[in-house]
Amino acid sequence: MEKSVKLGLVGRNISYSFSKKYFEQKFQKLFLKDHSYEVFDIENLQNIPAIFQTENLVGLNVTIPYKEQIIPYLDELSEEAQEIGAINCISIKNGKTKGFNTDAFGFEKTLLLHKKPHQKSAIVLGNGGAAKAVQFVLKKNNIPFITVSRTTEINYQNLTENQVLENLIIIQCTPVGTFPNVEETLHFPFENITENHLVIDLIYNPTLSKFLKNAAEKGAKTINGYFMLEQQAEKAWEIWNEEQ
C-alpha cells in the first residue's frame, strides 16, 4: 500500500481558503485516495517547527501574513524565492524544508496574457509578500514601476493624478476588500483611471472586488487573482511531485 501523502496551507484567518478545495478536487480527479490537504490556521509561527514534523507531510502552501515571516524557519530557499524575499510554497523532503515562490510564476502568466503594448509601466499597491513577487516579475520583464503603500515614499495620500495617468498597469496587492470585508477599498484616485488602463487585483474572493468595480466603471480592463491562483497552485503541485 502506498504511504499517505499530506499537503497543507499555513496562514491566519484562512477559513475561506481556495487551496484546500482546489487540491481536494485534484486528488479526486487523479484518483489519489492516499492524499489529503489540511489547513493550519495559526495565530503566529511559534508552532511551525512542530507542523513541519507532521507525519507524511510533503508540502505546504503559505499565505497571508506569513510569506515573509516564515523564511527564517526554512532550511533552504530556491534562487527565485531568495531574490523575492517571500515564499508561498514549501517542499519537505527527508526532513528538510525548502521555500519557493510560485506567486511570481502565476502573476507573470496573468500579466503577459493581458498586457497590451501601450501599457509600459506600472503602479504596485502594497509592499508585502504578494507585492514582492509582483515587483520581481515587473523587473524581470523590464517594466518600470512605482510602489505605493502606507510606509513608502509615495503613499495613498500623495499619489498624484499624473502618476495614475502615466502608469497604465495598476496592480492591487493588499488584502483590502477581501471577503468578508467586500465594501472596503484602498484610498485611490479612481477618477484618473481610463480605458487605456489594465487593473489587476490579486484578490479572488469576491470575484469582483470594490477596487475592480471602481476601475471598471472608468472603462479599464480588469482582472482578478483567480487565474494567478490556479497557476501558482499548479506550479506548487509540480514542485511537490518533482521534489519527492
> pLDDT tens string for the chain (244 positions)?
457 999 999 999 887 778 999 999 999 999 999 999 999 999 999 999 999 999 999 999 999 899 999 999 999 999 999 999 999 999 999 999 999 999 999 999 999 999 999 999 999 999 999 999 999 999 999 999 999 999 999 999 999 999 999 999 999 999 999 988 999 999 999 999 999 999 999 999 999 999 999 999 999 999 999 999 999 999 999 999 985 5
Alpha-carbon Rg for the chain in angstroms:
18
Classify residue 240: in a domain, yes or no. Answer: no
In a domain, 237, yes or no: no
If asked whether residues 117 and 85 sit together in one domain, one would say no
Let me know whether 126 and 212 are in one domain. Answer: yes
108 and 197 in a single domain? The answer is: yes
Known catalytic residues? 67
DSSP H or E segment with residue 165: helix 161-166
Residue 243 has a pLDDT of 53
Instruction: List, edge to edge, every strand of the sheet that includes 221-223.
Output: 145-148, 122-125, 169-172, 198-201, 221-223
| Together in a domain, 164 and 181 | yes
List the domain range (segments joined by +) for residue 40: 5-101
Burial label for 153, CB within 10 Å (0-12, 13-18, 19+), is exposed
The conformation of residue 12, written as its DSSP 8-state character, comes to S
CA 190 to chain centre: 23
55 and 6 in contact (C-beta within 8 Å)? yes
CA 203 to centroid of chain Cα atoms:
9
Does residue 61 lie within any of the structural domains? yes
In a shared domain, residues 110 and 96 = no
Residue 14: predicted pLDDT? 83
Q: How far apart are CA 138 and CA 110, in angstroms?
A: 12
The phi, psi pair for 145, rounded to 5°, reads -150, 160
Say what the pLDDT of residue 244 is: 53
Q: How far apart are CA 145 and CA 167, in angstroms?
A: 8
Is the pTM higher than 0.75? The answer reads yes
Cell triple for residue 204? Answer: 479572488
Quick one: 81 and 193 in the same domain?
no
Residue 66 and residue 138 in one domain: no
Instruction: Give the CATH number of the domain where residue 40 resides.
Output: 3.40.50.10860
E strands present in 149-203: 169-172, 198-201
Final residue of a structural domain among 101, 123, 152? 101
Specify whether 46 is located in the same domain as 124: no
- Residue 94 sits in the same domain as residue 114: no
The answer for 31, left when phi > 0, alpha when psi is -120 to 50, beta otherwise, is left
The CATH number of residue 121's host domain is 3.40.50.720
pLDDT score recorded for residue 1: 42
Out of 76, 101, 126, pick the residue that ends a domain: 101
What grid cell was written down for 29? 480527479
Q: Does a structural domain hold residue 232?
A: no
Q: Tell me the three cell numbers of residue 38.
A: 489540511
* Helical H segments across 30-160, by residue range: 48-52, 79-84, 103-114, 129-140
Q: 36 with 20: CB under 8 angstroms?
A: no
DSSP E strand stretches across 154-201: 169-172, 198-201
Could you tell me if 163 and 94 lie in one domain? no
Q: Are residues 179 and 190 in the same domain?
A: yes
Q: How many domains does the chain have?
A: 2
Please tell me whether residues 167 and 92 are part of one structural domain.
Answer: no
Question: Smallest Cα–Cα separation from 200: which of 234, 153, 155, 167?
Answer: 167
